[in-house]
Structure 1
Amino acid sequence: MTATLSADELQLVTGLLYRLTGMTFGENKRYYIERRITERMKQTGIASARAYLAHAALDPAERQALVNAFTINETYFFREDHQFRALGDQILPEIVRTKRPGDLVRIWSLPCSTGDEPYSIAIWLLENWPMVDAYNIEIIGSDIDTSAVEAARAGRYAARALSRLPASLVERYFEAEHRQYRRIIEDLRESVQFSVVNLVDPASVATQGRFDVILCRNLLIYFDDASRKIAADNLFDRLHPGGFLCLGHSESMARISDRFDFVRLDDAIVYRRP
Protein backbone atom coordinates (compact mmCIF):
# COMPACT_ATOMS: atom_id res chain seq x y z
CA MET A 1 0.00 0.00 0.00
CA THR A 2 1.34 3.42 -0.99
CA ALA A 3 1.83 5.93 1.83
CA THR A 4 -0.28 9.08 1.69
CA LEU A 5 1.66 12.20 2.61
CA SER A 6 0.07 15.17 4.30
CA ALA A 7 0.73 18.61 2.85
CA ASP A 8 3.35 19.21 5.55
CA GLU A 9 5.05 15.85 4.89
CA LEU A 10 5.10 16.49 1.17
CA GLN A 11 6.76 19.83 1.82
CA LEU A 12 9.33 18.16 4.06
CA VAL A 13 10.18 15.64 1.32
CA THR A 14 10.44 18.17 -1.47
CA GLY A 15 12.45 20.54 0.72
CA LEU A 16 14.92 17.81 1.65
CA LEU A 17 15.30 16.69 -1.97
CA TYR A 18 15.85 20.27 -3.08
CA ARG A 19 18.59 20.80 -0.50
CA LEU A 20 20.26 17.54 -1.48
CA THR A 21 20.01 17.73 -5.27
CA GLY A 22 18.74 21.13 -6.45
CA MET A 23 15.81 19.35 -8.15
CA THR A 24 12.30 20.67 -7.66
CA PHE A 25 9.24 18.48 -7.07
CA GLY A 26 5.75 19.87 -6.54
CA GLU A 27 2.19 18.77 -5.79
CA ASN A 28 1.85 17.58 -9.40
CA LYS A 29 4.44 14.89 -8.62
CA ARG A 30 2.66 13.71 -5.47
CA TYR A 31 2.00 10.12 -6.63
CA TYR A 32 5.58 9.76 -7.91
CA ILE A 33 6.92 11.03 -4.57
CA GLU A 34 4.61 8.85 -2.48
CA ARG A 35 5.55 5.69 -4.36
CA ARG A 36 9.26 6.27 -3.82
CA ILE A 37 8.89 7.24 -0.17
CA THR A 38 6.80 4.07 0.35
CA GLU A 39 9.58 1.95 -1.13
CA ARG A 40 12.18 3.52 1.14
CA MET A 41 9.89 3.02 4.15
CA LYS A 42 9.62 -0.67 3.28
CA GLN A 43 13.38 -0.97 2.86
CA THR A 44 14.07 0.67 6.23
CA GLY A 45 11.15 -0.94 8.10
CA ILE A 46 9.81 2.44 9.22
CA ALA A 47 6.01 2.58 9.42
CA SER A 48 5.24 6.30 9.22
CA ALA A 49 6.31 8.84 6.63
CA ARG A 50 7.18 11.45 9.26
CA ALA A 51 9.37 8.98 11.17
CA TYR A 52 11.07 7.98 7.93
CA LEU A 53 11.83 11.60 7.06
CA ALA A 54 13.30 12.18 10.51
CA HIS A 55 15.48 9.11 9.99
CA ALA A 56 16.61 10.27 6.53
CA ALA A 57 17.46 13.73 7.85
CA LEU A 58 19.93 12.18 10.32
CA ASP A 59 21.36 9.25 8.33
CA PRO A 60 23.75 10.10 5.43
CA ALA A 61 23.41 6.60 3.92
CA GLU A 62 19.63 6.86 3.85
CA ARG A 63 19.79 10.36 2.36
CA GLN A 64 21.88 8.92 -0.48
CA ALA A 65 19.40 6.07 -0.93
CA LEU A 66 16.61 8.65 -1.10
CA VAL A 67 18.50 10.64 -3.72
CA ASN A 68 19.04 7.44 -5.73
CA ALA A 69 15.31 6.69 -5.55
CA PHE A 70 14.41 10.05 -7.07
CA THR A 71 16.99 10.40 -9.83
CA ILE A 72 15.76 9.87 -13.38
CA ASN A 73 17.97 7.54 -15.41
CA GLU A 74 16.37 7.78 -18.84
CA THR A 75 19.22 7.24 -21.28
CA TYR A 76 20.49 5.07 -24.13
CA PHE A 77 23.49 4.82 -26.41
CA PHE A 78 24.02 7.51 -29.08
CA ARG A 79 21.34 9.76 -27.58
CA GLU A 80 21.32 13.17 -29.33
CA ASP A 81 24.14 11.97 -31.57
CA HIS A 82 24.16 15.27 -33.49
CA GLN A 83 26.29 16.59 -30.61
CA PHE A 84 28.73 13.71 -31.05
CA ARG A 85 29.08 14.76 -34.70
CA ALA A 86 29.78 18.31 -33.55
CA LEU A 87 32.28 16.97 -31.04
CA GLY A 88 34.30 15.13 -33.66
CA ASP A 89 33.87 17.55 -36.57
CA GLN A 90 34.31 20.96 -34.92
CA ILE A 91 34.72 20.99 -31.13
CA LEU A 92 37.71 18.69 -30.69
CA PRO A 93 39.57 20.01 -33.76
CA GLU A 94 39.29 23.47 -32.21
CA ILE A 95 40.41 22.20 -28.79
CA VAL A 96 43.51 20.41 -30.11
CA ARG A 97 44.52 23.36 -32.30
CA THR A 98 46.57 24.63 -29.33
CA LYS A 99 47.72 21.20 -28.12
CA ARG A 100 50.57 18.94 -29.15
CA PRO A 101 50.24 15.26 -30.05
CA GLY A 102 50.05 13.23 -26.84
CA ASP A 103 48.58 16.09 -24.79
CA LEU A 104 45.64 15.46 -22.46
CA VAL A 105 42.09 16.15 -23.66
CA ARG A 106 39.49 15.86 -20.89
CA ILE A 107 35.78 15.25 -21.58
CA TRP A 108 33.16 15.23 -18.81
CA SER A 109 29.72 13.64 -19.09
CA LEU A 110 27.20 14.41 -16.36
CA PRO A 111 24.76 13.18 -15.38
CA CYS A 112 26.21 9.97 -16.78
CA SER A 113 23.43 7.73 -15.42
CA THR A 114 24.32 4.08 -16.15
CA GLY A 115 27.22 5.01 -18.42
CA ASP A 116 25.50 4.99 -21.80
CA GLU A 117 26.62 8.52 -22.67
CA PRO A 118 30.33 8.45 -21.71
CA TYR A 119 30.73 5.05 -23.35
CA SER A 120 28.91 6.45 -26.40
CA ILE A 121 31.46 9.27 -26.55
CA ALA A 122 34.31 6.75 -26.46
CA ILE A 123 32.78 4.60 -29.20
CA TRP A 124 31.93 7.60 -31.37
CA LEU A 125 35.46 8.98 -31.20
CA LEU A 126 37.02 5.58 -31.93
CA GLU A 127 34.79 5.19 -34.96
CA ASN A 128 34.65 8.74 -36.29
CA TRP A 129 37.52 10.98 -35.13
CA PRO A 130 40.70 10.28 -37.09
CA MET A 131 42.89 11.99 -34.47
CA VAL A 132 41.66 9.91 -31.54
CA ASP A 133 44.98 8.06 -31.17
CA ALA A 134 47.07 11.24 -31.41
CA TYR A 135 45.97 12.59 -28.02
CA ASN A 136 45.49 11.31 -24.50
CA ILE A 137 41.68 11.32 -24.30
CA GLU A 138 40.29 11.14 -20.76
CA ILE A 139 36.55 10.63 -20.43
CA ILE A 140 34.90 11.04 -17.01
CA GLY A 141 31.28 10.13 -16.27
CA SER A 142 29.69 11.54 -13.10
CA ASP A 143 26.29 11.26 -11.45
CA ILE A 144 24.68 12.00 -8.10
CA ASP A 145 23.10 8.51 -8.08
CA THR A 146 25.57 6.04 -6.54
CA SER A 147 23.61 3.03 -7.85
CA ALA A 148 23.77 4.40 -11.39
CA VAL A 149 27.53 4.94 -11.10
CA GLU A 150 27.99 1.34 -9.92
CA ALA A 151 25.98 0.12 -12.92
CA ALA A 152 28.07 2.31 -15.24
CA ARG A 153 31.29 0.77 -13.95
CA ALA A 154 29.84 -2.72 -14.50
CA GLY A 155 28.87 -1.80 -18.07
CA ARG A 156 26.04 -4.32 -18.61
CA TYR A 157 23.16 -3.33 -20.90
CA ALA A 158 19.88 -4.77 -22.15
CA ALA A 159 18.76 -4.59 -25.77
CA ARG A 160 16.76 -1.36 -25.31
CA ALA A 161 19.82 0.66 -24.33
CA LEU A 162 21.68 -0.56 -27.42
CA SER A 163 18.78 -0.16 -29.87
CA ARG A 164 20.23 2.92 -31.64
CA LEU A 165 23.62 1.33 -32.18
CA PRO A 166 24.37 -0.37 -35.52
CA ALA A 167 24.66 -4.13 -35.12
CA SER A 168 28.31 -3.96 -36.20
CA LEU A 169 29.16 -1.69 -33.24
CA VAL A 170 27.26 -3.89 -30.81
CA GLU A 171 29.29 -6.87 -31.98
CA ARG A 172 32.56 -4.95 -31.85
CA TYR A 173 32.23 -3.29 -28.46
CA PHE A 174 29.87 -5.50 -26.43
CA GLU A 175 30.31 -9.09 -25.30
CA ALA A 176 27.22 -11.29 -25.17
CA GLU A 177 26.09 -12.42 -21.72
CA HIS A 178 23.13 -14.37 -20.37
CA ARG A 179 19.48 -13.25 -20.68
CA GLN A 180 20.13 -11.02 -23.71
CA TYR A 181 22.43 -8.70 -21.77
CA ARG A 182 25.70 -7.48 -23.21
CA ARG A 183 28.74 -6.10 -21.42
CA ILE A 184 30.96 -3.41 -22.86
CA ILE A 185 34.43 -4.74 -23.60
CA GLU A 186 37.10 -4.44 -20.93
CA ASP A 187 39.28 -2.00 -22.88
CA LEU A 188 36.42 0.52 -23.01
CA ARG A 189 35.38 -0.07 -19.39
CA GLU A 190 38.93 0.76 -18.34
CA SER A 191 39.14 3.82 -20.60
CA VAL A 192 36.20 5.64 -18.96
CA GLN A 193 36.36 6.74 -15.31
CA PHE A 194 33.30 7.27 -13.12
CA SER A 195 32.67 9.39 -10.03
CA VAL A 196 29.82 10.55 -7.79
CA VAL A 197 29.25 14.31 -8.12
CA ASN A 198 26.52 16.74 -7.06
CA LEU A 199 26.37 19.54 -9.64
CA VAL A 200 24.90 22.07 -7.19
CA ASP A 201 27.65 21.45 -4.62
CA PRO A 202 30.74 23.49 -5.60
CA ALA A 203 33.07 21.41 -3.42
CA SER A 204 31.85 18.18 -5.00
CA VAL A 205 32.25 19.55 -8.52
CA ALA A 206 35.72 20.98 -7.81
CA THR A 207 37.10 17.48 -7.09
CA GLN A 208 36.92 16.67 -10.81
CA GLY A 209 39.41 19.27 -12.03
CA ARG A 210 38.97 21.14 -15.31
CA PHE A 211 37.81 19.94 -18.70
CA ASP A 212 38.07 20.82 -22.38
CA VAL A 213 34.50 19.66 -23.09
CA ILE A 214 31.52 19.12 -20.79
CA LEU A 215 28.31 17.41 -21.85
CA CYS A 216 25.59 18.22 -19.30
CA ARG A 217 22.41 17.20 -21.05
CA ASN A 218 18.83 17.10 -19.76
CA LEU A 219 19.63 17.93 -16.14
CA LEU A 220 18.99 21.67 -15.84
CA ILE A 221 15.32 21.11 -16.77
CA TYR A 222 14.79 19.60 -13.30
CA PHE A 223 16.20 22.65 -11.48
CA ASP A 224 14.65 25.96 -10.52
CA ASP A 225 16.27 29.28 -11.44
CA ALA A 226 18.45 29.42 -8.32
CA SER A 227 19.79 25.88 -8.80
CA ARG A 228 20.39 26.49 -12.51
CA LYS A 229 22.50 29.54 -11.68
CA ILE A 230 24.61 27.55 -9.21
CA ALA A 231 24.98 24.72 -11.72
CA ALA A 232 25.96 27.12 -14.51
CA ASP A 233 28.64 28.76 -12.37
CA ASN A 234 30.02 25.35 -11.38
CA LEU A 235 30.13 24.21 -15.00
CA PHE A 236 31.86 27.43 -16.04
CA ASP A 237 34.48 26.99 -13.33
CA ARG A 238 35.18 23.40 -14.44
CA LEU A 239 35.96 24.42 -18.04
CA HIS A 240 39.38 25.44 -19.23
CA PRO A 241 39.30 28.84 -20.96
CA GLY A 242 38.14 28.11 -24.50
CA GLY A 243 36.38 24.92 -23.36
CA PHE A 244 32.94 23.91 -24.65
CA LEU A 245 29.67 23.06 -22.88
CA CYS A 246 26.93 20.99 -24.54
CA LEU A 247 23.41 21.08 -23.07
CA GLY A 248 20.32 19.08 -23.99
CA HIS A 249 18.30 20.11 -27.05
CA SER A 250 15.56 21.73 -24.91
CA GLU A 251 17.99 23.59 -22.64
CA SER A 252 19.59 27.01 -23.03
CA MET A 253 21.99 29.22 -21.11
CA ALA A 254 20.23 32.33 -22.45
CA ARG A 255 18.29 33.09 -19.25
CA ILE A 256 20.66 31.41 -16.81
CA SER A 257 24.13 32.90 -17.27
CA ASP A 258 25.84 35.49 -19.46
CA ARG A 259 29.32 34.13 -18.69
CA PHE A 260 29.39 31.77 -21.68
CA ASP A 261 29.77 32.64 -25.35
CA PHE A 262 26.98 31.32 -27.57
CA VAL A 263 28.39 29.22 -30.44
CA ARG A 264 26.35 27.92 -33.39
CA LEU A 265 28.00 24.90 -35.03
CA ASP A 266 26.88 22.94 -38.07
CA ASP A 267 25.24 20.19 -35.99
CA ALA A 268 24.62 21.78 -32.59
CA ILE A 269 24.34 24.92 -30.51
CA VAL A 270 26.94 24.94 -27.73
CA TYR A 271 28.44 27.31 -25.18
CA ARG A 272 32.06 28.26 -24.68
CA ARG A 273 34.05 29.67 -21.80
CA PRO A 274 35.84 32.77 -23.15
Structure 2
Amino acid sequence: MMQDIQKTSPDARQEFAFSDRDFRMISELANARYGLFLQPSKKALVHSRLAKRLRALNLGSFEDYCDLLNRTEGDSEQTHLLSALTTNVTHFFREVHHFEYLKTVIAPTLTAKAKSGDAVRLWSAACSTGQEAYSIAATLLDIDPELRKYDVKILATDIDPQVVKTARDGLYPAEQIQAIPENWCRCLTRVATARADEFEMDNALKAMISFGELNLIADWPMQRCFDVIFCRNAAIYFDKTTQARLWQRFAAALGNDAHLMIGHSERLSGPAEADFKSVGITTYQKQTTNKHRDKGDEN
Protein backbone atom coordinates (compact mmCIF):
# COMPACT_ATOMS: atom_id res chain seq x y z
CA MET A 1 0.00 0.00 0.00
CA MET A 2 1.23 3.46 -0.82
CA GLN A 3 1.90 6.46 1.35
CA ASP A 4 1.50 10.12 0.46
CA ILE A 5 4.60 11.53 -1.22
CA GLN A 6 4.32 14.61 0.99
CA LYS A 7 5.36 12.54 3.99
CA THR A 8 8.84 12.06 2.59
CA SER A 9 11.15 15.07 2.58
CA PRO A 10 14.58 14.30 1.12
CA ASP A 11 17.09 17.06 0.52
CA ALA A 12 16.16 18.65 -2.80
CA ARG A 13 19.48 19.74 -4.26
CA GLN A 14 19.09 21.72 -7.48
CA GLU A 15 21.64 19.60 -9.32
CA PHE A 16 19.33 19.63 -12.34
CA ALA A 17 17.17 22.55 -13.40
CA PHE A 18 13.50 21.60 -13.02
CA SER A 19 11.20 24.00 -14.82
CA ASP A 20 7.46 24.35 -14.38
CA ARG A 21 7.15 22.86 -17.85
CA ASP A 22 9.16 19.78 -16.81
CA PHE A 23 6.99 19.33 -13.72
CA ARG A 24 3.80 19.76 -15.75
CA MET A 25 4.89 17.17 -18.31
CA ILE A 26 5.74 14.61 -15.61
CA SER A 27 2.53 15.37 -13.69
CA GLU A 28 0.38 14.95 -16.80
CA LEU A 29 2.10 11.69 -17.73
CA ALA A 30 1.76 10.28 -14.18
CA ASN A 31 -1.89 11.27 -14.10
CA ALA A 32 -2.74 9.84 -17.51
CA ARG A 33 -0.99 6.52 -16.96
CA TYR A 34 -1.38 5.93 -13.24
CA GLY A 35 -4.01 8.37 -12.00
CA LEU A 36 -1.47 10.09 -9.73
CA PHE A 37 -2.37 13.64 -8.79
CA LEU A 38 0.75 15.71 -8.19
CA GLN A 39 -0.03 19.12 -6.78
CA PRO A 40 2.35 22.04 -7.57
CA SER A 41 3.41 22.03 -3.91
CA LYS A 42 5.10 18.66 -4.56
CA LYS A 43 7.43 20.01 -7.21
CA ALA A 44 10.53 20.04 -4.97
CA LEU A 45 9.84 16.50 -3.78
CA VAL A 46 9.32 15.23 -7.32
CA HIS A 47 12.62 16.85 -8.27
CA SER A 48 14.53 15.19 -5.45
CA ARG A 49 13.01 11.77 -6.21
CA LEU A 50 13.63 11.88 -9.95
CA ALA A 51 17.08 13.46 -9.79
CA LYS A 52 18.30 10.00 -8.73
CA ARG A 53 16.93 8.56 -11.95
CA LEU A 54 18.68 11.21 -14.04
CA ARG A 55 21.98 10.30 -12.39
CA ALA A 56 21.38 6.59 -12.91
CA LEU A 57 20.60 7.17 -16.58
CA ASN A 58 23.43 9.67 -17.09
CA LEU A 59 20.99 12.27 -18.36
CA GLY A 60 21.87 15.94 -18.30
CA SER A 61 18.46 17.50 -17.75
CA PHE A 62 14.83 16.88 -16.90
CA GLU A 63 14.00 17.83 -20.46
CA ASP A 64 16.02 14.80 -21.59
CA TYR A 65 14.22 12.65 -19.02
CA CYS A 66 10.78 13.80 -20.21
CA ASP A 67 11.83 13.09 -23.77
CA LEU A 68 12.89 9.56 -22.78
CA LEU A 69 9.57 8.88 -21.06
CA ASN A 70 7.71 9.74 -24.24
CA ARG A 71 9.79 7.45 -26.48
CA THR A 72 9.28 3.73 -26.99
CA GLU A 73 12.72 2.95 -25.59
CA GLY A 74 11.66 4.69 -22.40
CA ASP A 75 8.92 2.16 -21.61
CA SER A 76 11.12 0.34 -19.11
CA GLU A 77 11.63 3.62 -17.24
CA GLN A 78 7.92 3.80 -16.40
CA THR A 79 8.36 1.37 -13.53
CA HIS A 80 11.17 3.46 -12.06
CA LEU A 81 9.11 6.62 -12.44
CA LEU A 82 6.21 5.05 -10.60
CA SER A 83 8.43 3.73 -7.81
CA ALA A 84 10.04 7.15 -7.42
CA LEU A 85 6.71 8.98 -7.17
CA THR A 86 5.16 6.59 -4.66
CA THR A 87 6.41 5.29 -1.34
CA ASN A 88 5.52 1.77 -0.29
CA VAL A 89 5.37 1.92 3.50
CA THR A 90 3.57 -0.98 5.13
CA HIS A 91 3.87 -3.69 7.77
CA PHE A 92 2.01 -6.74 8.96
CA PHE A 93 -1.42 -6.12 10.53
CA ARG A 94 -1.21 -2.41 9.85
CA GLU A 95 -4.33 -0.58 11.05
CA VAL A 96 -5.10 -3.59 13.21
CA HIS A 97 -8.76 -2.65 13.69
CA HIS A 98 -9.46 -3.87 10.16
CA PHE A 99 -8.08 -7.29 10.95
CA GLU A 100 -9.96 -7.45 14.24
CA TYR A 101 -13.18 -6.70 12.35
CA LEU A 102 -12.29 -9.29 9.72
CA LYS A 103 -11.67 -11.86 12.45
CA THR A 104 -14.65 -11.22 14.70
CA VAL A 105 -17.38 -10.10 12.29
CA ILE A 106 -16.61 -11.12 8.71
CA ALA A 107 -14.59 -14.34 8.95
CA PRO A 108 -17.28 -16.49 10.61
CA THR A 109 -19.65 -15.70 7.73
CA LEU A 110 -16.96 -16.38 5.15
CA THR A 111 -16.08 -19.66 6.85
CA ALA A 112 -19.68 -20.83 6.73
CA LYS A 113 -19.93 -19.76 3.09
CA ALA A 114 -16.80 -21.69 2.13
CA LYS A 115 -17.87 -24.84 3.96
CA SER A 116 -21.24 -24.74 2.24
CA GLY A 117 -19.40 -25.14 -1.06
CA ASP A 118 -19.39 -21.51 -2.24
CA ALA A 119 -16.31 -19.62 -3.38
CA VAL A 120 -14.90 -16.92 -1.12
CA ARG A 121 -12.91 -14.09 -2.68
CA LEU A 122 -10.96 -11.28 -1.03
CA TRP A 123 -8.93 -8.57 -2.75
CA SER A 124 -5.92 -6.66 -1.49
CA ALA A 125 -6.17 -3.95 -4.13
CA ALA A 126 -2.98 -2.04 -3.33
CA CYS A 127 -0.95 -4.82 -1.79
CA SER A 128 2.47 -3.17 -1.98
CA THR A 129 5.11 -5.65 -0.78
CA GLY A 130 2.49 -8.13 0.37
CA GLN A 131 2.22 -7.75 4.14
CA GLU A 132 -1.48 -6.86 3.90
CA ALA A 133 -2.36 -9.95 1.85
CA TYR A 134 -0.42 -12.28 4.14
CA SER A 135 -2.07 -10.67 7.18
CA ILE A 136 -5.49 -11.34 5.64
CA ALA A 137 -4.57 -14.99 5.00
CA ALA A 138 -3.19 -15.40 8.52
CA THR A 139 -6.37 -13.93 10.01
CA LEU A 140 -8.56 -16.39 8.12
CA LEU A 141 -6.42 -19.41 8.97
CA ASP A 142 -6.32 -18.36 12.60
CA ILE A 143 -10.11 -18.62 12.64
CA ASP A 144 -10.10 -22.03 10.99
CA PRO A 145 -6.95 -23.74 9.61
CA GLU A 146 -9.24 -26.01 7.57
CA LEU A 147 -10.10 -23.08 5.28
CA ARG A 148 -7.04 -23.88 3.19
CA LYS A 149 -8.95 -26.94 1.95
CA TYR A 150 -11.84 -24.88 0.58
CA ASP A 151 -12.29 -22.45 -2.29
CA VAL A 152 -10.96 -19.41 -0.46
CA LYS A 153 -8.65 -17.16 -2.45
CA ILE A 154 -7.06 -13.77 -1.95
CA LEU A 155 -6.20 -11.67 -4.99
CA ALA A 156 -3.35 -9.26 -4.24
CA THR A 157 -2.51 -6.61 -6.82
CA ASP A 158 -0.35 -3.54 -7.14
CA ILE A 159 0.60 -1.27 -10.00
CA ASP A 160 4.34 -1.54 -9.27
CA PRO A 161 5.89 -4.77 -10.62
CA GLN A 162 8.87 -4.44 -8.30
CA VAL A 163 6.78 -4.58 -5.13
CA VAL A 164 4.61 -7.36 -6.58
CA LYS A 165 7.75 -9.48 -7.01
CA THR A 166 8.71 -8.84 -3.39
CA ALA A 167 5.21 -9.80 -2.29
CA ARG A 168 5.23 -13.00 -4.32
CA ASP A 169 8.64 -14.01 -2.93
CA GLY A 170 7.35 -13.50 0.61
CA LEU A 171 10.73 -12.68 2.15
CA TYR A 172 10.84 -10.04 4.88
CA PRO A 173 13.31 -8.58 7.38
CA ALA A 174 13.24 -10.17 10.82
CA GLU A 175 12.19 -6.94 12.50
CA GLN A 176 8.90 -7.00 10.61
CA ILE A 177 8.12 -10.52 11.75
CA GLN A 178 8.98 -9.63 15.31
CA ALA A 179 6.29 -6.95 15.24
CA ILE A 180 3.52 -9.53 14.66
CA PRO A 181 1.37 -10.07 17.77
CA GLU A 182 2.26 -13.31 19.53
CA ASN A 183 -1.20 -14.83 19.10
CA TRP A 184 -0.81 -14.62 15.31
CA CYS A 185 2.61 -16.21 15.12
CA ARG A 186 1.35 -19.78 15.03
CA CYS A 187 -0.15 -18.93 11.62
CA LEU A 188 3.21 -17.75 10.31
CA THR A 189 5.76 -20.52 10.07
CA ARG A 190 9.05 -18.65 10.12
CA VAL A 191 11.71 -20.12 7.87
CA ALA A 192 15.18 -18.57 8.00
CA THR A 193 16.71 -17.93 4.59
CA ALA A 194 20.39 -17.84 3.64
CA ARG A 195 20.42 -14.35 5.10
CA ALA A 196 19.88 -14.57 8.84
CA ASP A 197 17.86 -11.38 8.95
CA GLU A 198 15.16 -12.56 6.53
CA PHE A 199 12.15 -14.82 6.93
CA GLU A 200 9.89 -16.49 4.42
CA MET A 201 6.13 -16.68 4.63
CA ASP A 202 4.61 -20.10 5.22
CA ASN A 203 3.53 -22.01 2.11
CA ALA A 204 0.02 -22.37 3.54
CA LEU A 205 -0.35 -18.59 3.33
CA LYS A 206 1.24 -18.33 -0.10
CA ALA A 207 -1.13 -20.97 -1.46
CA MET A 208 -4.14 -18.80 -0.63
CA ILE A 209 -2.86 -15.73 -2.48
CA SER A 210 -2.51 -14.86 -6.16
CA PHE A 211 -0.26 -11.87 -6.79
CA GLY A 212 -0.42 -9.76 -9.93
CA GLU A 213 0.06 -6.33 -11.44
CA LEU A 214 -2.99 -4.12 -11.84
CA ASN A 215 -3.55 -0.44 -12.52
CA LEU A 216 -6.61 0.64 -10.52
CA ILE A 217 -7.59 3.28 -13.08
CA ALA A 218 -7.39 0.84 -16.00
CA ASP A 219 -9.67 -2.09 -16.88
CA TRP A 220 -10.11 -4.86 -14.33
CA PRO A 221 -10.18 -8.42 -15.71
CA MET A 222 -11.91 -9.94 -12.65
CA GLN A 223 -15.55 -10.95 -13.09
CA ARG A 224 -16.50 -12.69 -9.86
CA CYS A 225 -17.81 -10.51 -7.02
CA PHE A 226 -15.62 -10.07 -3.97
CA ASP A 227 -16.61 -10.65 -0.35
CA VAL A 228 -14.03 -8.20 1.01
CA ILE A 229 -11.85 -5.54 -0.61
CA PHE A 230 -8.93 -3.90 1.16
CA CYS A 231 -7.76 -0.73 -0.61
CA ARG A 232 -5.86 1.35 1.89
CA ASN A 233 -3.73 4.43 1.28
CA ALA A 234 -3.92 4.25 -2.49
CA ALA A 235 -6.82 6.64 -3.19
CA ILE A 236 -4.88 9.45 -1.50
CA TYR A 237 -2.84 9.64 -4.70
CA PHE A 238 -5.89 10.41 -6.83
CA ASP A 239 -7.90 13.58 -7.34
CA LYS A 240 -11.48 13.74 -6.01
CA THR A 241 -13.05 12.75 -9.34
CA THR A 242 -10.85 9.68 -9.68
CA GLN A 243 -11.46 8.73 -6.06
CA ALA A 244 -15.23 8.90 -6.50
CA ARG A 245 -15.00 6.75 -9.63
CA LEU A 246 -12.84 4.20 -7.80
CA TRP A 247 -15.35 3.87 -4.93
CA GLN A 248 -18.10 3.27 -7.50
CA ARG A 249 -16.07 0.56 -9.19
CA PHE A 250 -15.44 -1.13 -5.85
CA ALA A 251 -19.17 -1.04 -5.13
CA ALA A 252 -19.80 -2.79 -8.44
CA ALA A 253 -17.10 -5.38 -7.69
CA LEU A 254 -18.52 -6.32 -4.28
CA GLY A 255 -21.33 -8.75 -3.59
CA ASN A 256 -24.32 -7.85 -1.46
CA ASP A 257 -23.39 -7.19 2.19
CA ALA A 258 -19.69 -7.42 1.29
CA HIS A 259 -17.11 -5.16 2.94
CA LEU A 260 -14.67 -2.45 1.88
CA MET A 261 -11.69 -1.38 4.01
CA ILE A 262 -9.96 1.92 3.19
CA GLY A 263 -7.08 3.93 4.65
CA HIS A 264 -7.22 5.94 7.85
CA SER A 265 -6.96 9.26 5.98
CA GLU A 266 -9.44 8.33 3.24
CA ARG A 267 -13.18 8.86 3.06
CA LEU A 268 -15.85 7.60 0.68
CA SER A 269 -17.18 10.25 -1.67
CA GLY A 270 -19.48 10.66 -4.64
CA PRO A 271 -22.38 8.41 -5.66
CA ALA A 272 -20.84 5.36 -3.96
CA GLU A 273 -21.63 6.85 -0.56
CA ALA A 274 -25.22 5.68 -1.08
CA ASP A 275 -24.01 2.11 -1.70
CA PHE A 276 -22.28 1.67 1.65
CA LYS A 277 -22.95 2.03 5.34
CA SER A 278 -20.21 2.63 7.89
CA VAL A 279 -19.76 -0.34 10.24
CA GLY A 280 -16.43 0.54 11.83
CA ILE A 281 -13.33 2.69 11.54
CA THR A 282 -12.87 3.19 7.77
CA THR A 283 -14.83 -0.04 7.32
CA TYR A 284 -17.91 -0.12 5.10
CA GLN A 285 -20.54 -2.66 4.15
CA LYS A 286 -22.28 -2.65 0.82
CA GLN A 287 -26.03 -2.31 1.10
CA THR A 288 -27.20 -2.08 -2.51
CA THR A 289 -27.91 -4.85 -4.99
CA ASN A 290 -24.93 -5.52 -7.24
CA LYS A 291 -26.31 -5.58 -10.75
CA HIS A 292 -22.95 -5.22 -12.44
CA ARG A 293 -21.22 -8.51 -11.77
CA ASP A 294 -22.33 -11.90 -10.94
CA LYS A 295 -20.67 -14.57 -13.03
CA GLY A 296 -17.38 -15.89 -14.25
CA ASP A 297 -14.17 -16.71 -12.49
CA GLU A 298 -11.03 -14.74 -12.07
CA ASN A 299 -8.32 -15.05 -9.65
Tell me the TM-score normalized by structure 2.
0.81
- Is the 2:229–2:261 contact (alpha carbons within 8 Å) kept by the matching residues of 1? yes
Where in structure 2 are the equivalents of 1:104-123 lying within 5 Å?
104-123=119-138
Partners of 2:240 and 2:270 lie apart in 1 by: 9
Q: Helix, strand or coil: the match of 2:207?
A: helix
Partners of 2:222 and 2:258 lie apart in 1 by: 18
Residue in 2 that maps onto 1:260? 275
Distance 1:230 1:259, change over 3 A: same
Partners of 1:185 and 1:98 lie apart in 2 by: 25
CA deviation profile, 1:216-235 (whole Å, cap 9, x unmatched):
11111221111102211221
Distance 1:163 1:14, change over 3 A: farther
Partners of 2:63 and 2:45 lie apart in 1 by: 17
Q: Does 1:183 align with 2:200?
A: yes
Partners of 2:197 and 2:237 lie apart in 1 by: 33
Partner amino acid, structure 2, of 1:271? Q
Residue in 2 that maps onto 1:32? 45
Displacement of 1:135 after TM fit? 3.9
Displacement of 1:169 after TM fit? 4.7
- Unmatched 5+ residue regions in structure 2? 1-12, 289-299
CA deviation profile, 1:166-197 (whole Å, cap 9, x unmatched):
35755742212214111112332232110111
Q: Tell me how many residue pairs correspond in the alignment.
A: 271
Residue in 2 that maps onto 1:237? 252
Residue in 2 that maps onto 1:272? 286
Residue in 2 that maps onto 1:173? 189
Distance 1:97 1:176, change over 3 A: closer
Partners of 2:119 and 2:27 lie apart in 1 by: 41
Distance 1:179 1:95, change over 3 A: closer
Displacement of 1:263 after TM fit? 3.4
Partners of 1:135 and 1:41 lie apart in 2 by: 49
Partners of 1:126 and 1:91 lie apart in 2 by: 13
Residue in 1 that maps onto 2:6? none
1:251 to 263, 266, 271: 266
Distance 1:257 1:221, change over 3 A: same
Partners of 1:102 and 1:218 lie apart in 2 by: 34
Partner amino acid, structure 1, of 2:171? R
Partners of 1:192 and 1:236 lie apart in 2 by: 22
- Is the 2:267–2:282 contact (alpha carbons within 8 Å) kept by the matching residues of 1? no
- Root-mean-square deviation (CA, aligned residues, Å) is 2.5
Partners of 2:225 and 2:59 lie apart in 1 by: 42
Where in structure 2 are the equivalents of 1:69-108 lying within 5 Å?
69-95=84-110, 101-108=116-123
Distance 1:194 1:273, change over 3 A: farther
Worse-matched range after superposition: 172-181 or 150-159: 172-181
Residue in 2 that maps onto 1:194? 211
Residue in 2 that maps onto 1:216? 231
Displacement of 1:99 after TM fit? 6.2
- Unmatched 5+ residue regions in structure 1? none
Where in structure 2 are the equivalents of 1:116-155 lying within 5 Å?
116-129=131-144, 132=147, 135-155=150-170
Q: Helix, strand or coil: the match of 1:76?
A: coil
Q: Helix, strand or coil: the match of 1:195?
A: strand
- Is the 1:116–1:161 contact (alpha carbons within 8 Å) kept by the matching residues of 2? no
- Is the 2:133–2:154 contact (alpha carbons within 8 Å) kept by the matching residues of 1? yes
Distance 1:133 1:101, change over 3 A: farther
Displacement of 1:163 after TM fit? 4.0
Q: Does 1:49 align with 2:92?
A: no
Partner amino acid, structure 2, of 1:239? L
Displacement of 1:38 after TM fit? 1.6
Partner amino acid, structure 2, of 1:43? A
Partners of 2:117 and 2:225 lie apart in 1 by: 18
- Is the 1:211–1:238 contact (alpha carbons within 8 Å) kept by the matching residues of 2? yes
Displacement of 1:122 after TM fit? 0.8
Partners of 2:102 and 2:274 lie apart in 1 by: 21
